[in-house]
Structure 1
Amino acid sequence: MTFKNVTLHIGRHKSGTSSLQHWLGLNRETLADNGVLYPLSGASNQIAHHQIAEALKQNATQDVMAIAEDILKERKGQETLLLSSEAFQNLEDLDGMKNMLAHLGAENVTVICYVREHLDYAVSAYRQLVHAQTKSPSFSKYCFRFHSIAPFFQRWRSVGDLQLALYHRDLLKNGDIIEDFCEKTGLPFKEMHLGDRNPSIGGNLLVYKLFANRLGMEGLTYAAMRELALAEPRFRSAFFVSDEAAASLRANSKYNASIEVELGLPPLKSWEKYRKLPDLETLESDFEHISEATRTQFDEEMLTKAKRSQRVFVLSPDVLQ
């Protein structure tokens, strides 16, 4: 027994994936009753299929095929299989994916991918990078590394029918990623107020984590920062980027040019209303508050370096260190 249709949701990162995946996980039974299997197999967290993505990335063929067999065992007559993981976007070699789909008997494969405008994506993804990893590049160094995304589109078109969409609140159905995805896939939409499941950190919390990364602070957990960002809006806020710097980046953006070929010119957002980082007015008190909330300890060196870090958060081709 195999699947007539397979839908792959591949992200991209920071396009409402966590909220969508939680909704899909919570509505597994409803989806199954409507002929769509959103399997538990390959989703070790019961939400998203990152386990499949990791096995494919590691070329762990036996693991991939074992998961595929488990998916087939879950099938109770559903003709459509739905898999979701933003980690799929990181796969360079898609032969393993194609082999898995063949093993599942996929007749029709649809690949759904939401993309964001260059600077919009960079502002969000940079904050996520600092939050989730131990890296600490300047914003400029991170932002100017983006190249054309056309090869990515080409790779995924070799897998199935690639359906692209811009991730922007004004363009999503009723401003909602879940409702928009349901409309694109024909899934029954059921409103659930899930909120932002994975906010990017911001404000002086972003400054704190960046210098924690640079100085090797231990004990600062992703979950503690996530809870702080959810509780206090200033700790999930974006940061100031001048319109002049934004225009300069966009004028030479091969990333945006490749998106425009597919979807037209994406909406252009301004970040001039946000506060510059570090926010010196509250930096010391914020550091003390963050230290207490996350049960970590900063020292005078970290605070001093943070006070002098304006260039880290400036967008300029002259600041690439």
Structure 2
Amino acid sequence: MADVYLHIGLNKTGTSSIQDFFFLNIEAMAQEGICYPRAGLDGAAHHALSYWLGTPEPDRNFEQSPMVLAMRKEIAGASKVVISSEDLHTHGARGARILKRLFAGHQVKVVFYVREHLSYLASWYQQNVQASHLSCSFDTFCHLTRKPLHTLADAWTESMGRENMFLRLYDRKALTGGDVLLDFVRIVGVPGDLERFQRKRYENNPSVTGNLLFIKRLLNNLLDKATASNMVNETTELAKLKPEFLGAMQVDAPLVAYVAGMYKGDRKVLLDRYGVEIPERSGAMAGSLFPDFATLREDYDLILDTAAARDYDIAKAMRMITLGDLSYLNGKH
């Protein structure tokens, strides 16, 4: 029976790089006895499998479920199986029990990448502002999405066993070769270098920041989710206009200290229980100002003019708001 590797997240830990790699190389991997099943795929990841976990179907006629039948048929004969969706970790103990039953008879191993809390929350926030209609401030987001990482890991450990949990820190200093993909394939046991496989040569989910992200956040107050979400590719392209529109966002020292204190207990449990040491962050987190009022008007004009010239929907939305006298805000920052 095959060893099954469940890559369950977190989001914002290089998951797309891993998924694109295995999806691009389904046939090449199969020749080496590694199955990246087409069953359960939605795009390059097994998001359809994750969606199925959240439905009542697994609790009903499990053995006759089309997902179960298709998955078991496809992985038969493989020496190793890789399943990947960053959404899997959200299903907790119930999801773990269902997947253990789905892969009964196989040795199931869970790979879970965790990340320093502030950088994780900031990256998650940036993506949600860019790709949805999220409009709250970052400090509010940190409060609303409090997510002790050890509780997520514990839910899977309960079903799969501590010996089958691979908890890894998403940090270049901790990853094999400083690369999450290389780190993951070494856990799976893909032999040799990766040159024989296809690999995307660009970043899958670049982080938008600065005044571009701030303008999108303003617009999110006026747009429904579908309309706001459809602007994700436009904002990705507009981020190329200035270096300050790409990368991390600046977070001031008081909020950094607040988040570090909020997750102090989580860091201790992760170290004691799983051997994962997350350094405590202190001082301000470097990045682009969000917003930068000194250049907001200039950046607004640049974004609007470029978006209008390209007939982007975001230009139509931006015309709904007008920047007035910013001297009060400039004086406050």
Amino acid paired to 1:125 = W
Task: Map 1:74-93 onto structure 2 (within 5 A).
Answer: 74-75=74-75, 77-93=77-93
Q: Secondary structure at the match of 2:83?
A: strand
Q: Could you tell me which residue of structure 2 aligns to residue 317 of structure 1?
A: none
User: Is residue 2:49 matched to residue 1:52?
Assistant: yes
- For 1:98-177, list aligned pairs within 5 A: 98-145=97-144, 146-160=146-160, 161-177=164-180
TM-align CA RMSD:
2.9
Q: Judging changes above 3 Å, is the alpha-carbon distance between structure 1 residues 307 and 210 closer, same or farther for their aligned structure 2 residues?
A: farther
- Contact 2:209-2:247 at 8 Å conserved across structures: yes
Secondary structure in structure 2 of the residue aligned to 1:174: helix
- d(CA) in 2 for partners of 1:107, 1:98: 14
Q: State the identity %.
A: 29
Of 210, 215, 222, the match for 1:215: 222
Kept in 2, the 8 Å contact 1:148–1:257? The answer is: no
Structure 1: which 5+ runs fail to align?
Answer: 315-321
**Are 1:44 and 1:51, in contact at CA under 8 Å, matched by a contact in 2?**
yes
Change (3 A) 1:5 1:280: same
Change in 2 beyond 3 A, CA 1:273/1:153: closer
Taking the aligned partners of 2:183 and 2:45, their CA distance within structure 1 comes to: 18
- The correspondence for 2:302, drawn from 272, 277, 289, is 289
Task: Report the alpha carbon displacement of residue 100 of structure 1 after superposing the two structures with TM.
Answer: 4.4
User: Measured at CA, do residues 73 and 239 of structure 1 come closer, stay the same or move farther in structure 2, by a change above 3 Å?
Assistant: same
Measure the CA separation in 1 of the matches of 2:65 and 2:203. 34
The 1:139/1:302 distance shift into structure 2, 3 A limit, reads farther
1:190-269 correspondence runs (5 A): 190-191=194-195, 192-216=199-223, 218=227, 220-229=230-239, 233-253=243-263, 254-261=265-272, 262-268=274-280
AA matched with 1:32? A
Measured at CA, do residues 39 and 250 of structure 1 come closer, stay the same or move farther in structure 2, by a change above 3 Å? same
Matched, 1:181 2:184: yes
**1: CA distance between counterparts of 2:33 and 2:54?**
29
Q: CA deviation at 1:156?
A: 0.6
| TM-score, normalization by structure 1 | 0.84
Q: How many equivalent residue pairs?
A: 307
Cα gap change, 1:59 to 1:183, in 2 (>3 Å): same
Q: How is 1:3-14 mapped onto 2 (pairs within 5 angstroms)?
A: 3-14=1-12
CA contact (8 A) 1:238 1:274 kept: yes
